[in-house]
Amino acid sequence: MDSRSRLAFMLLLIANTLVFVYSDNDENEYTPGPVTYNAKSVIVGGNPILIFSGSIHYPRSTPEMWPDIIRMAKEGGLNTIATYVFWNAHEPVEGQYNFTGNNDLVKFIKLIAEHKMYVVLRLGPFIQAEWNLGGLPFWLRDIPNIVFRSYNEPYMKHMKRYIEYMVNMMKAEKLFAPQGGPIIMAQVENEYNHVQESYKEKGTQYVKWAADMATSLYAGVPWIMCKQKDAPQNVISTCNGRHCADTFMGPNSPDKPSLWTENWTAQYRVFGDPPSQRAAEDIAFSVTRFFMNNGSMTNYYMVRIEVT
């Protein structure tokens, strides 16, 4: 084994050791309660935690598969599961909601809680390339004078109604950690920074509005915005990427933790793209460096689990 291979092996061993030390399967590690944070950590139920998370999207599998998927995620060393919430799956027709079958979000979250794991709920509502129309419902296009993801009254009206509906559902089911549930963080908007300038002043106004709207609906858990360099003070900016120890400048306030919401294990491909699967050694190296640089969360995007 050459020196480079030995280094990769050692880093992989360190990363795996961190996972099993800080994400032990002992149920005592799961302590829902008030959620706060500081520069070093997210604090749940009075306990600072390192978050080892993996993204699992409930509509991409069936409820019958969920228990095995969640169990194997935990056995793999994770203590948290992150998921987008898919607006156009839940409200395919304006005012008509669907939370049955693969869309039973409450059941999915309760199963995660049964396995003594936490949840990061990424409400969006825009969720990028991972879903048709970025998760926005098709009927939204027919709203008069609407401009998506801007300080635009028609868009903000419907976005707030959707976010409020989802937050109220989580509260009614007592799924937020301060209520004894597993949800320790929620996300509003998604990778907005790279399009914000095209909206000029309305982009800046929209980001602040989105942050204020979300935190006013529920302030019991931290709200995050991924890839938002100058996030409003009441939300936490986070990193998406492959090597966030090197590319992330850190949160824009000294009292916010350093969080990695998408640790890309691969990259989605368009026609003609070569494969982009990352080596385990590269992922281990990146995770280790991130935690060495004051990181307190990594979320593998996505988790691949084969259910037989």
Instruction: Give the gyration radius of the chain's Cα atoms.
Output: 19
Asked if residue 306 belongs to a domain, the reply is no
State residue 109's pLDDT score.
98
| 172-190: pLDDT as tens digits | 999 999 999 999 999 999 9
170 or 307, higher pLDDT: 170
Provide the residue range defining the domain that includes 138. 3-23+31-301
Residue 308 lies in a domain: no
Contact 30, 45 (CB under 8 A): no
Tell me how many domains the chain contains.
1
Structural domain includes residue 307: no
Q: What is the mean pLDDT of residues 136-146?
A: 97
* Active-site amino acid positions: 191, 262
Model-level pTM? 0.91
Where residue 11 sits, what CATH number does that domain have? 3.20.20.80
